[in-house]
Amino acid sequence: MYRWIFQSVFCLVSVTACGVDPGIPVPNTVDFEASLSAYNIYQGDASSLTPTADYQVLELGSTLYSDYSKKQRLVYIPDGTQITKIDNGIPQFPEGTILVKTFYFLVDARDTSLGKQVMETRLEILGDGEWNVGTYVWNEEQTDAQLALKGVDTTVSWVDSNGTEQTFDYHYPSQKECVACHQLNEAVTPIGPSLRNLNIEIETVDGTVSQLTALQDNGLLTTFDVSTVSSLPDYHNETLSIEERGRAYLDMNCAHCHQPNAWQESSQKRFEFRYETSLSETNILDKSDDIRRVFQDGEMPYLGTSVVHEEGWEIVREYLDSL
């Protein structure tokens, strides 16, 4: 059975969280509610993660690895406003936007009917032109989640698709940790919902449609020709070349820090992992051995994970071997 064990809720602030210097102030233009339920994100049984009509599901072409957890992504766009295209990257979200990312584990990956254990919900709220970040830790009863801004540690156990029980430390990030990774040009910014990562086909009640077109049809995204937007490959797709998969994995899991104008501590490492960057400008060829070492030793990503992503490392290893 799934075991949900708090090592003493809110008792342990991680050493990592205390030691992180994001290099920029933590935005404070939004007052976060004490309980997640105040945002009216979910209806009915909260742990079913059924969003209310105010929140739209977002799906990504490539996803950030986070200790094998599963994630649900939602967005709230205030009435009368829209998301605006800038380029293929992160669009301009209107004031008052709420981005929601909820992390959970299946009790047993072999049988989804056994349910899930919801761990946390992270919010990014745009207020006065700044993205504010907050983490909510779900209670043991799975009825609500409470705000935790300083970072909390616990232990999680679940059964994987091979029937093996996995148990490891799970860390809820502090605000400083969130800001360290979620920044560009010395300002907090979302990571996942770039237009090129939202530009995928999704399944709806009307069949398979472009997600960008669906967002336009719902009035959430301004009108433009979606064919002008590029797509970030899905690194899970084994039909793609290893170059596409390897570069997509490095983009989604590393490029938010390893690119110019990102978190100063990581951008100084001189890697440029964005998918569109030419290989000769990424420093991958010159630093291949260093990349192998940090992946094998579980040193990267520096924040947000405690368990090596074996499948991800295999993609990166095969890609590096191909160069």
Write the pLDDT tens digit of every residue in 64-83: 999 899 999 999 999 999 99
User: pTM of this prediction?
Assistant: 0.91
Which of the listed ranges 27-41, 144-158, 257-271, 274-288 does the model predict with the highest average pLDDT?
Answer: 27-41
Nearest to 51 by CA among 18, 91, 99: 99
pLDDT at 18: 46
CA–CA separation, 95 and 100 (whole Å)? 15
Nearest-10 crossing angle of helices 310-322, 242-254: 130
Domain that holds residue 36: 4-196
- Please identify which residue in the block is written with the tokens 């490959």: 233
- Tell me: do 82 and 151 sit in the same domain: yes
Query: Is residue 227 domain-resident?
Result: no
DSSP H or E run through 121: strand 116-127
β-partners of residue 75 are 56, 99
- Tell me: do 192 and 241 sit in the same domain: no
Q: Which two tokens stand for residue 82?
A: 């829209």
- Tell me: do 59 and 185 sit in the same domain: yes
- Tell me: do 135 and 16 sit in the same domain: yes
Cβ-count burial of 5 within 10 angstroms (0-12 exposed, 13-18 middle, 19+ buried)?
exposed
| Weakest-pLDDT range from 164-168, 187-191, 201-205, 262-266 | 262-266
Q: Is 40 left (phi over 0), alpha (psi -120 to 50) or beta?
A: left
- Tell me: do 263 and 164 sit in the same domain: no
Q: How many domains does the chain have?
A: 2
- Tell me: do 189 and 241 sit in the same domain: no
Q: Give the pLDDT band (50/70/90) at residue 11.
A: very low
- Tell me: do 9 and 107 sit in the same domain: yes
Q: Is the pLDDT of residue 191 over 70?
A: yes
Q: Is the pLDDT of residue 61 over 70?
A: yes
